[in-house]
Amino acid sequence: MKTVIFACVHNAGRSQMAAAYFNALVKDGRVRAISAGTEPGTQVHPEVLEAMKEIGIDLSNAKPQLLTQELAEGAETLITMGCGDKCPVVPGLKRGDWPLEDPKGKPVERVREIRNEVRDRVQALLQDRGWV
């Protein structure tokens, strides 16, 4: 099974949304997504939980996790979330960067816009790779 890692610094917003969308859209088991961060927070941002719950994706049990070499083993692709110099690097993986605004502390209306941009990017990635 191919694995895509969505990563950012705190793994509490954008990368959580991306992995959740990815896994919700891929049904055949050929590929999966995980999310991780270089300095994981303690929980997924409440505004992210709310925005994702609105569309039927429950992240209440999601926990930020550290991006480790062990976690990255066997992965094919690393997509970072526009975190600049703090974005993780994992040698040997295909890499992409999505310059997305951090939803932390934003009004839910703005978080919805970020959520929808994440969805559009995930859908484009799935189409591009032939995973849908």
Q: Express each pLDDT in 26-67 by its tens digit.
A: 977 889 999 999 999 999 999 999 999 999 999 999 999 999
**Contact at 8 Å (CB) between 16 and 47?**
no
- DSSP 3-state of 78: strand
Q: What is the pTM of this model?
A: 0.94
For the chain, list the domains and their CATH numbers.
2-129 (3.40.50.2300)
Residue 100 class from Cβ within 10 Å (0-12 exposed, 13-18 middle, 19+ buried)? Answer: buried
Q: Name which residue leads in pLDDT, 126 or 87.
A: 126
Share of the chain above pLDDT 90, in %: 82
User: Average pLDDT over the chain, rounded to whole?
Assistant: 93
Residue 85 pLDDT more than 80? no
Whose structure tokens read 């997509």? 79
